[in-house]
Amino acid sequence: MAKNKQTMPMGAKPPKRKLNGNVLKRLLKMLFKAYPVLLPLSILCILFTAVVSTIPSIFLQKVTETVQDFQSTKDWAAASEIIIPQVVTLIVLYVFSIVSITLESQLMAYITQGFLYKMRKAMFERMQDLPIKYFDTHKHGDIMSYYTNDIDTLRQLVSQSLPTIIRASVIVISVLSIMVYYSIWLTLLLLVGVAFMVLVSKKVGGGSARFFVKLQRSVGGLEGYVQEMMNGQKVVKVFSHEEQAQKDFDRVNEELFQNAYRANAYANMLGPIIMNIGNVMYVIVAVVGGLLIAAKAPNLSLSGLALGVDIIVPFLNMTKQFTGNINQFSQQINSIVMAMAGAERVFELMDQSPEVDDGYVTLVNATVDAEGNVHEADHHTGVWAWKHPHSADGSITYTLLRGDVRMTEVDFGYEEGKTVLHDVSVFAEPGQKVAFVGATGAGKTTITNLINRFYDIADGKIRYDGININKIRKSDLRRSLGIVLQDTNLFTGSVMDNIRYGNLDATDEDCIRAAKLAGADDFITRLPGGYETELSNNGSNLSQGQRQLIAIARAAVADPPVMILDEATSSIDTRTEAIVQKGMDALMKGRTVFVIAHRLSTVRNSDVIMVLDHGRIIERGNHEKLIAEKGQYYQLYTGAFELE
Amino acid sequence: MIKRLAKCVREYKLPAVLTLIFILGEAIIETLIPFITADLIGNIKDGAGMPQIVQTGLLLVLMALLSLSFGGIAGFTCAKAAAGFSKNLRHDLFGKVQTYSFANMDKFSSSSLVTRMTTDVVNVQMSFMMLIRTAIRSPLLLIFSVVMAFVMGGKLAFTFIIVIPVLGGGLFLVAKKAMPAFHSVFRKYDRLNESIEENVRAMRVVKGFSREDYEKKKFDASAETIRMDFTRAERIVALNTPLMQLCMYFNMVMILLIGSNIAISCGGDPFDVGQISAMLTYGVQILMSLMMLSMIFVMLTMSAESARRIYEVLGEESTLQNPEDPVTEVADGSIDFDHVSFKYAETAKRNSLSDIDLHIRSGMTVGIIGGTGSGKTSLVQLIPRLYDVTEGCVRVGGLDVRSYDLDTLRGAVAMVLQKNLLFSGTIRENLRWGNENATDEEIREACRLSQADEFVMSFPNGYDTKIEQGGTNVSGGQKQRLCIAGALLKKPKILILDDSTSAVDTKTDALIREGFRTYIPDTTKIIIAQRIASVEKADMIIVMNNGAVDAVGNHEQLLATSEIYREVYEQQTNGGGQNGEE
């Protein structure tokens, strides 16, 4: 169920494909494209070894014939003159075959891993380019299962199923031709048996595949349940809810068991069934063959050989080989079905449309000459400018990066027809601090989502230093905006690395300075490894407040002219906040800052405070003005309304 | 370890044993079949009469049918046993975690517990299935085939004596080489997935800093190492195929050559073409079973790591044990800390709490104030015995918490955690966590008290509104009020709110506290808060600092005596104090 949810992405749902044929075709195409030489080469090797592996039957027939011819005279010396050259030819063939199989198996190992690597890489790169909306509308667990489950199914497909199927079909075909060479009657007889086998495979294998798909789904269900429960385990304990949790778990577990056991039972039974149909076929061929010999029935064959023991013996062997390979075929059904389901999901991710970025205004290093003209520089100058090429006359203008952000009459909705922001206008001059307050869902975070273009506005204009932000290249726009979010996300690596994430060119000193500015230096230096302390698991060894301080330092080292602080200090206790307040003030100095905070003490000293209600700005002004107005803000301030 | 895991087979022992028996039957028949087949070929060749051929043929068909039923039944029982085994494993794992104390939980990250219950269990299940299907069958087939080959082929069977050690040794070598390679690559693979998860979670940061290309490069580097390591490991394993092929071909050539020699020299008696054909079949069977054995070997060692990880959870004993002869009645809501010291891990250098001595009367309202890391949460977690003290003693209702039955104690002490969660399900279902049998009226009552009723009723579906996973469709303040309602439904003697109204506005906060005073006056209320306003009116306020009690008293007393308290108070009433110039 969990898995189905993510198939409801934005836009129209693609029509449900009937069969996975397209998926397979696309997958094979990608595989061939990735290895245009190696893959055909290794297929060639498979073909060769497959053909060689059918040859012993011919030799066996020849040897058997010879043995019978010489048995009456018991003259090994004479017989060996015929037998030895035969065996030598066989040995030569075998040597080639071993060489080719070595090559093939090594190649396949290389190709499989290489292909998986390419798929992973393609998936990850596509994922990086997807709009935030994708991540807001898909469960993280679902996204993860692309990497953990779905890709793994492809490994089985490429390394096992594909070669097996090629090999098995080649063997089946060549065995078949040899059989026709010997006896058409017996071959026809065998084919009847094969038809029966295919029928059974389809029935049993289909059942198995059906349950395997169900199984996948119940695995997802169980995983989701366990994930939620393990995350909330402490709550479970506090409420003594253990027994109930176990009961619920057992229910999910039982469903998984039912599907697992059915799927595997079908899969396990298929082998013995096919093999023994093969055994029965063997007997039938033998008996019918015997009958034909006894009746001295005329043989119909390409070779024109008369039906005799020397034909029956190798023919029987081939019967074994034939049914054995049909079995090989049927054993692959499950992994193919699962791989197709996996590939379909992988393609689903790859087919998501990436974030569009047609911005052409870029951020460049600049110098300002005595007359105040801005020039582009090829080195770091500490001064930045927007480079704005005009397509009309081919000229380029430079605008200094100042941090002037203006939203004019902006409307926006996450879903069509559901407007969450109405007619919002905000003017933030360089160095000003603008605060947003309002209840959950009022649209505070939405406004910041629009400024950095995580989402695009429906109507109205947003200008940055007078340039419409739609014209600015997204990466440059975001580079000019520092952002600190309520949910702090840190990366595995040292504290220093995490701070440097804000500016990859920053030196250690820059990072430490930023940490000091954010008021984080104090606790960092007290960590066992100082700045080199390794963080893992989203910095689980730090408190929420400490994580926020690192996030603030990370934004500080980027040194952007505009900062967005979305509940950035919500988890820092008021006493610590008072301590870092100075750093925060220093950090905000000279920057345009957008602040969202539910602690009104944090927003009091803003230049302008916007009170939002249901996506509209209902009051604006500084603290004193709003208090004097005795409107919504006044009520919030005195605690009459709930904030969050 | 194996013993503990094997215990999980339980009610599926019968199918497991049946599998072994049926597999045994199947294997016996499978080895006999070539024998009879040789007979059949002999019959045909000798020009025996049709009746004899048909008779042997019928015998073969019968054997095939037997083999089919045995194999089919074994496949069924085996699937049942393996799936049942893994079901029990998961049940035990989940059950074990339910018995864990907070201290146990701290040792495992939740995502690692999820992996253990899913991927690791599947690995062990697959090995178990392989084991009962092939661990018996392959050696059996091997032994049967060797014996039969000797019986039938005489000295021809000596070719096997050359081939078996070569192949066996080779396979073993390959497996031994491949194993460490796989181990290391799997570990790297886990780390790659962890970093992908990190990336997905932090996508706003990644995009906010325009670090997409940086992340791609980082990913590419790790993915590339994995590709290389994986390729190396797989290439070692890939040597199995040519090795197998080599032995098989060698075997064939020898049998053809020597077999025909013997068959001619002896004039077809007792060794003939039928025997040659049978010897070839046995040869394939022997080599195949060797191959299977080596696969089992690889698989078992690979899943050994999974088994170890599962055992780690199963073998972990809860640090909190129910006392023998537990007390099942909590007298009242009084709480005493007698010189309590506490640290989270025995190895920790510093105590998280040191020498706490506090005495709280039943029915009191107690506020706790203190900075991050001052030990507020640690302190209250000792009351419902989420952790055990390191030194000293915590008493509830006059008795040591360690003398109570855990369920009794936790039933009497309701606690709303700092990071309390709602679970997917309706609001009503979530609230019933406090009391399964709560009536709708009781639920509404609790919600009115926690100021949640009004907004719940404003939802179109009221109390039947679905909560999304992680409770994303209610606001933080709403979530907190629902959690408080759940705790109230327990009708506790002691109610602990660990910073549980931080997202609730001051007015509602005050209303909640007012409700507590009026409607549950006999319940001891402990409120951890950041806002002075939340604790101002408490009978007793505890100021924590650095794991110790800095000061105790009521609001007025503390303003006079505690510097920390005064500082926090002033900062909050002046709104930061930094903006005096405005």
Nearest CA in chain B to A311: B45
Q: How many residues does chain A have?
A: 644
pLDDT at A287: 79
B235 interaction partners in chain A (CB closer than 8 Å): 106, 109-110
CB burial of A163-194 (b: ≥16 within 10 Å; e: otherwise) equals bbbebbebbbebbbebbbbbbebbbebbeebb
Place of tokens 């269900």: A221
Nearest Cα to Cα of residue A6 among A141, A152, A153: A141
- Determine, for residues A238 and B71 on separate chains, whether the beta-carbon distance falls below 8 Å: no
CA angle A119, A124, A126 (to 5 degrees): 95
- Determine, for residues A60 and B277 on separate chains, whether the beta-carbon distance falls below 8 Å: yes
Q: What percent of chain A has pLDDT over 90?
A: 13
- Determine, for residues B47 and A294 on separate chains, whether the beta-carbon distance falls below 8 Å: yes
pLDDT at A226: 86
Nearest Cα to Cα of residue B511 among B483, B479, B533: B533
Q: Which of A98, A127, A640 sits opposite B249 (nearest CB)?
A: A98
- Determine, for residues B94 and A598 on separate chains, whether the beta-carbon distance falls below 8 Å: no
Comma-separated ranges of CATH 3.40.50.300 domains in chain B: 335-573
- Determine, for residues B71 and A489 on separate chains, whether the beta-carbon distance falls below 8 Å: no
pLDDT at B295: 78
Question: Domain B2-178+239-315 maps to which CATH number in 3.20.20.70, 3.40.50.360, 1.20.1560.10, 3.40.50.2300?
Answer: 1.20.1560.10
pLDDT at A441: 66
**pLDDT band for position A640 (cuts 50, 70, 90):** low
**pLDDT band for position B30 (cuts 50, 70, 90):** confident
B371 has a chain A CB within 8 A of its CB: yes
**pLDDT band for position A642 (cuts 50, 70, 90):** very low
Minimum distance, in Å, between the CA of residue B107 and any CA atom of chain A: 12
Q: For residue A9, what are its two tokens?
A: 């992405």
Flag whether pLDDT at B575 surpasses 60: no
B71 interaction partners in chain A (CB closer than 8 Å): 269, 271-273, 275-276
User: Greater confidence, A57 or A470?
Assistant: A470
- Determine, for residues A479 and B246 on separate chains, whether the beta-carbon distance falls below 8 Å: no
pLDDT in tens, B212-238: 888 999 999 999 999 999 899 889 988
pLDDT in tens, A80-139: 888 888 888 888 988 998 999 999 999 999 999 999 999 999 999 999 988 888 888 887
B252 interaction partners in chain A (CB closer than 8 Å): 56, 90
**pLDDT band for position A315 (cuts 50, 70, 90):** confident
Best of B204, B220, B504 to disrupt the A interface (most A CBs within 10 Å) is B204
User: Greater confidence, B575 or B386?
Assistant: B386
Flag whether pLDDT at A4 surpasses 60: no
CA distance B387 to B369: 21
Flag whether pLDDT at A140 surpasses 80: no
Q: For residue A391, what are its two tokens?
A: 């397509």
Q: Which of A240, A545, A578 sits opposite B576 (nearest CB)?
A: A578
Helix (H, G, I), strand (E, B) or coil at A130: coil
pLDDT in tens, B59-91: 888 888 898 899 889 989 999 999 999 999 999
Nearest Cα to Cα of residue B370 among B511, B504, B509, B558: B558
- Determine, for residues B223 and A148 on separate chains, whether the beta-carbon distance falls below 8 Å: no
Helix (H, G, I), strand (E, B) or coil at A177: helix
pLDDT in tens, A8-44: 333 333 333 344 578 889 999 999 999 999 999 999 9
CA distance A422 to A436: 15
Nearest Cα to Cα of residue A500 among B353, B214, B158: B214
- Determine, for residues B572 and A271 on separate chains, whether the beta-carbon distance falls below 8 Å: no
pLDDT at A440: 65
- Determine, for residues A440 and B505 on separate chains, whether the beta-carbon distance falls below 8 Å: no
Minimum distance, in Å, between the CA of residue A538 and any CA atom of chain B: 7
Q: Which of A91, A483, A636 sits opposite B253 (nearest CB)?
A: A91
Dihedral sign for Cα atoms in the order A199, A201, A203, A204: positive
pLDDT at B471: 66
Best of B43, B121, B210, B251 to disrupt the A interface (most A CBs within 10 Å) is B210
Q: For residue B279, what are its two tokens?
A: 């010897």
B68 interaction partners in chain A (CB closer than 8 Å): 272-273, 276-277
- Determine, for residues A113 and B411 on separate chains, whether the beta-carbon distance falls below 8 Å: no
Q: Which of B206, B234, B280 sits opposite A112 (nearest CB)?
A: B234
Best of B76, B114, B313 to disrupt the A interface (most A CBs within 10 Å) is B114
Dihedral sign for Cα atoms in the order B336, B342, B345, B347: negative
Q: For residue B72, what are its two tokens?
A: 């089919």
B230 interaction partners in chain A (CB closer than 8 Å): 113, 116
User: What average pLDDT does this structure show over B376-390?
Assistant: 90
Question: Taking a contact as any Cβ pair under 8 Å apart, which residues of chain B between 199 and 228 contact chain A?
Answer: 199-216, 219-220, 223-224, 226-227
Nearest CA in chain A to B23: A272
CA distance A564 to A261: 53
Q: For residue B497, what are its two tokens?
A: 């709110």
A479 interaction partners in chain B (CB closer than 8 Å): 209-210
Decide: residue A333, CB within 10 A, 0-12 exposed, 13-18 middle, 19+ buried. Answer: buried
Tell me, what amino acid is at B19? T
What domains lie within chain A, and their CATH numbers? 20-350 (1.20.1560.10), 362-400 (no CATH), 405-637 (3.40.50.300)
Nearest Cα to Cα of residue B499 among B410, B335, B374, B376: B376
In DSSP terms, B356 is beta-bridged to B340
CA distance B212 to A125: 8
CA distance B125 to A71: 55
Dihedral sign for Cα atoms in the order B56, B57, B62, B63: positive
Flag whether pLDDT at B578 surpasses 70: no
H or E element: which one contains A303? none
Q: Which of B204, B224, B434 sits opposite A132 (nearest CB)?
A: B204
- Could you give the C-alpha distances from A524 to A514, A531, A575, B56, B370, in angstroms and in order? 12, 6, 18, 85, 21
Yes or no: say if A384 and A363 are a contact pair by the CB < 8 Å rule: yes
Q: Would you put residue A281 in left (φ > 0), alpha (ψ -120 to 50) or beta? A: alpha
CA distance A602 to A201: 70
Helix (H, G, I), strand (E, B) or coil at B525: strand
CA distance A516 to A499: 12
Q: What is the DSSP string of A470-506?
A: GGB-HHHHHHTEEEE-SS----SEEHHHHHHTT-TT-
- Determine, for residues B572 and A601 on separate chains, whether the beta-carbon distance falls below 8 Å: yes
CA distance A411 to A461: 9
pLDDT in tens, A411-454: 888 877 778 888 888 898 888 889 988 776 677 888 888 888 88
pLDDT at A45: 92
CA dihedral B19, B22, B24, B27 (to 10 degrees): -120
pLDDT at B495: 94
pLDDT at B581: 28
What rounded mean pLDDT belongs to chain A? 82
CA distance A368 to B529: 53
Tell me, what amino acid is at A611? V
User: What average pLDDT does this structure show over A608-634?
Assistant: 85
pLDDT in tens, B434-460: 888 889 999 999 999 999 998 888 888
pLDDT at B382: 92
B290 has a chain A CB within 8 A of its CB: no
Flag whether pLDDT at A5 surpasses 50: no
Yes or no: say if A462 and A469 are a contact pair by the CB < 8 Å rule: yes
Lowest average pLDDT, out of B45-49, B154-158, B548-552, goes to B45-49
Yes or no: say if A595 and A603 are a contact pair by the CB < 8 Å rule: yes
CA distance B320 to B306: 27
Nearest CA in chain B to A49: B245
H or E element: which one contains A562? strand A562-566
Report the Cα A554 to chain-centroid distance in Å: 28
CA distance B524 to A1: 44
Minimum distance, in Å, between the CA of residue A57 and any CA atom of chain B: 10
CB atoms within 10 A of CB A630: 10
First to last CA, chain B: 70
A110 interaction partners in chain B (CB closer than 8 Å): 231, 235
Q: For residue B142, what are its two tokens?
A: 């091997």
CA distance A350 to A347: 5
Minimum distance, in Å, between the CA of residue A161 and any CA atom of chain B: 15
CA distance B542 to B535: 10
Minimum distance, in Å, between the CA of residue B339 and any CA atom of chain A: 25
pLDDT in tens, A542-575: 777 788 888 888 988 888 888 888 877 766 666 6
B16 interaction partners in chain A (CB closer than 8 Å): none
- Could you give the C-alpha distances from A78 to A83, A90, B261, B262, in angstroms and in order? 9, 19, 11, 14
A257 interaction partners in chain B (CB closer than 8 Å): 83-84, 86-87
A602 interaction partners in chain B (CB closer than 8 Å): 576
Q: Which range, A122-136, A198-212, A559-573, A597-611, has the best average confidence (pLDDT)? A: A122-136
Yes or no: say if B78 and A268 are a contact pair by the CB < 8 Å rule: yes
Q: Which of B80, B94, B245 sits opposite A261 (nearest CB)?
A: B80
DSSP category for residue A563: E
Comma-separated ranges of CATH 1.20.1560.10 domains in chain B: 2-178+239-315
Taking one residue from A and the other from B, the number of pairs with CB-CB distance under 8 angstroms is 455
CA angle B214, B217, B223 (to 5 degrees): 140
B459 has a chain A CB within 8 A of its CB: no
Minimum distance, in Å, between the CA of residue A358 and any CA atom of chain B: 15
Place of tokens 């898909």: A138
Report the Cα A210 to chain-centroid distance in Å: 24
Q: φ and ψ at B48, to 5 degrees?
A: -65, 160
The A374-376 sheet, strands edge to edge: A374-376, A362-368, A384-389, A396-400
**pLDDT band for position B525 (cuts 50, 70, 90):** very high
CA distance B530 to B512: 16
pLDDT in tens, A71-80: 777 788 888 8
Residues 6+ apart with CB under 8 A from B324: none
B88 interaction partners in chain A (CB closer than 8 Å): none
- Determine, for residues B508 and A642 on separate chains, whether the beta-carbon distance falls below 8 Å: yes
Best of A60, A237, A505, A624 to disrupt the B interface (most B CBs within 10 Å) is A237
Q: For residue A188, what are its two tokens?
A: 């026809």
Q: Which fold has domain B335-573?
A: Rossmann fold (3.40.50)
- Determine, for residues B503 and A598 on separate chains, whether the beta-carbon distance falls below 8 Å: yes
